[in-house]
């Protein structure tokens, strides 16, 4: 496809710039996707303020990593996808051949890159078209609206990986989720769908606390008015919860998480507070020794997670009908990030459509 397209590109700190750029050329194992809908992740605010600094030599580059669209062209070696297929995009580029890929842990690929951040030869989905390796485009069954499909590739799958894979949730275990943004609320629903006995949502926002109940939380804690650790232990009994999913990743929330789980409990950090990529956090790690608490990280998701999430959504075991609270046109993408950053509206996920 020899033409130009509109794309929102990062040029460093500041807002995305809408520019006219060349449509990427399709190579042997690639597909070209016409982007139909794109989700606005909280990391866009971090990119805007250089709290996740894009490496030198990688900018300007097209932003966006959460989107869905339609295959319009495929490379000659692509057999699993056809023109016209609706697809959900996976933003982590993996080689498929290293030790970690062969173990099914392709989110940790030795040669990994992110389309919005640093991937070589691929850029983000805030554009009319996006080039991806065919292995990063997951065919969507009929019946999933594109605005819902757009958020599968980050908010839904990242939450799944944190709860199921890194948290290792077992049926009838108890879970607390700290931070009820896009990933946190979808983690609440995953905990519910996967059989947790007691699910606690923790936040400082009334709308998010109410929404957590709708997504499956059995209890909520307003961290503004409560001693979170004490409240968790009151709800669960003496020991605390089995798992805490921390989507905030601040010194305070990690410390609270370590004190909210029972012996041999698991704390999964799936987010880091703005600036933590640059400035190290200081946290008391004594519970790891005294109570054999497991503290682990969770980054992105795997190809298996992505496929599983689509299957759950397609079978209506996992409900995304309430997840998209705001829809704006593609041209107002910066405005969508403004709305998210200001935090004055009741938001679960914002999606821009074309």
Looking at the structure, tell me whether residues 290 and 307 fall in a common domain: no
Average pLDDT, the chain: 95
Do 44 and 116 belong together in one domain? yes
Q: What is the pLDDT of residues 82-113, one digit of tens each?
A: 999 999 999 999 999 999 999 999 999 999 99
Q: How many whole angstroms separate alpha carbon 249 and alpha carbon 269?
A: 6
Residue 327 lies in a domain: yes
Q: Are residues 244 and 325 in the same domain?
A: no
Q: What is the pLDDT of residue 274?
A: 63
Say if residue 140 is in the same domain as residue 245: no
pTM above 0.75, yes or no: yes
Could you tell me if 99 and 137 lie in one domain? yes
Question: Per-residue confidence at 272, pLDDT binned at 50, 70, 90?
Answer: confident
- Cα(312)–Cα(154) distance, rounded to whole angstroms? 15
Residues 123 and 17 in one domain: yes
Write the burial class of residue 351 (CB in 10 Å: 0-12 exposed, 13-18 middle, 19+ buried).
buried
Tell whether 163 is covered by a domain.
no
Residues 22 and 138 in one domain: yes
Number of domains comprising the chain: 2
Angle at the Cα of 166 from the Cα atoms of 160 and 169, rounded to 5 degrees? 70
How far apart CA 47 and CA 42 sit, in angstroms, is 9
Instruction: Give 35's DSSP letter.
Output: E
50-74 confidence digits (pLDDT tens): 888 888 889 899 999 999 999 999 9
Does 161 fall in a domain?
Answer: no
Residue 162 inside a domain? The answer is: no
Asked whether residue 123 falls in the same domain as residue 174, the answer is: no
Question: Tokens for 169?
Answer: 């949730």
Does residue 143 lie within any of the structural domains?
yes
Beta strands 294-297 and 261-269 are parallel
Confidence of residue 139 (pLDDT cuts 50, 70, 90): very high
Using the predicted structure, report yes or no on whether residue 305 has a pLDDT greater than 80.
yes
d(CA 125, CA 115): 8
pLDDT of 276 over the 60 cut = no
In this predicted structure, what is the pLDDT of residue 316?
95
Single residue among 250, 272, 297 that ends a domain in this structure: 297
| Same-domain check for residues 254 and 325 | no
Look at residue 125 and tell me whether its pLDDT is greater than 90: yes
- Of 297, 318, 336, the one marking the end of a domain is 297
Task: Give the three-state DSSP class for 241.
Answer: strand
Identify whether residues 262 and 146 lie together within a single domain.
no
306 and 289 both lie in a single domain: no
Give me the CATH number covering residue 178: 3.40.50.720
Same domain, 116 and 142: yes
Answer yes or no: is pLDDT of 309 > 70.
Answer: yes
Alpha carbons 46 and 138: distance in angstroms, whole number? 27
Residue 344 lies in a domain: yes
Q: Looking at the domain assignment, is residue 62 inside a domain? A: yes
DSSP collapsed to 3 states, 149-171? HHHHHHHHHHHHHHHHHHCCCCC
Residue 154 has pLDDT above 60, yes or no: yes
Where does a domain end: 297, 312, 340?
297
Share of the chain above pLDDT 70, in %: 98
- The whole-angstrom separation of Cα 110 and Cα 230 is 41
Q: In the structure, what pLDDT confidence band is assigned to residue 222 with cuts at 50, 70 and 90?
A: very high
> Is 13 inside any structural domain?
yes
Q: Which pLDDT score, from 0 to 100, does residue 234 have? A: 95
User: Does position 277 have pLDDT exceeding 90, yes or no?
Assistant: no
Q: What's the CATH number where 29 sits?
A: 3.90.180.10
What's the mean pLDDT in 207-234? 96
Domain that holds residue 202: 168-297
């Amino acid at each position: 496809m020899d033409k130009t397209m509109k794309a929102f590109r990062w040029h460093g700190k500041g807002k995305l710039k809408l520019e006219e750029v060349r449509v990427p050329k399709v190579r042997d194992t690639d597909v070209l996707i016409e982007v139909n809908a794109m989700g606005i992740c909280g990391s866009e605010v971090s990119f805007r303020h250089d709290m996740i600094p894009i490496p030198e030599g990688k900018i300007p580059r097209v932003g966006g990593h959460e989107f869905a669209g339609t295959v319009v062209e495929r490379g000659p070696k692509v057999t699993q996808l056809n023109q016209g297929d609706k697809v959900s995009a996976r933003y982590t580029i993996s080689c498929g051949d290293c030790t970690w890929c062969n173990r099914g842990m392709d989110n940790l690929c030795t040669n990994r890159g992110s389309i919005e951040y640093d991937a070589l030869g691929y850029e983000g989905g805030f554009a009319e078209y996006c080039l991806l390796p065919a292995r990063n485009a997951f065919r969507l069954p009929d019946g999933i609206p594109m605005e819902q499909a757009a958020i599968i590739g980050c908010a839904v799958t990242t939450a799944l990986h944190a709860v199921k894979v890194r948290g290792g949730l077992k049926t009838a275990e108890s879970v607390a989720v700290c931070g009820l943004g896009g990933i946190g609320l979808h983690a609440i629903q995953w905990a519910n769908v996967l059989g947790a006995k007691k699910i606690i949502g923790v936040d400082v926002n009334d709308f998010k606390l109410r929404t957590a109940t709708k997504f499956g939380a059995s209890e909520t804690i307003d961290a503004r008015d409560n001693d979170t650790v004490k409240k968790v232990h009151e709800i669960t009994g003496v020991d605390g919860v089995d798992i805490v999913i921390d989507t905030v990743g601040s010194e305070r929330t990690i410390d609270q998480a370590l004190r909210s789980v029972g012996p041999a409990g698991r704390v999964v950090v799936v987010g880091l507070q703005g600036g933590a990529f640059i400035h190290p956090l200081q946290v008391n790690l004594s519970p790891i020794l005294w109570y054999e608490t497991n503290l682990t990280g969770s980054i992105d998701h795997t190809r298996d997670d992505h496929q599983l999430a689509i299957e759950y959504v397609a079978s209506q075991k996992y409900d995304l009908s309430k997840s998209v609270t705001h829809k704006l046109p593609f041209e107002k993408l910066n405005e969508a990030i403004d709305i998210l950053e200001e935090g004055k509206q009741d938001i679960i996920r914002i999606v821009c459509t074309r």
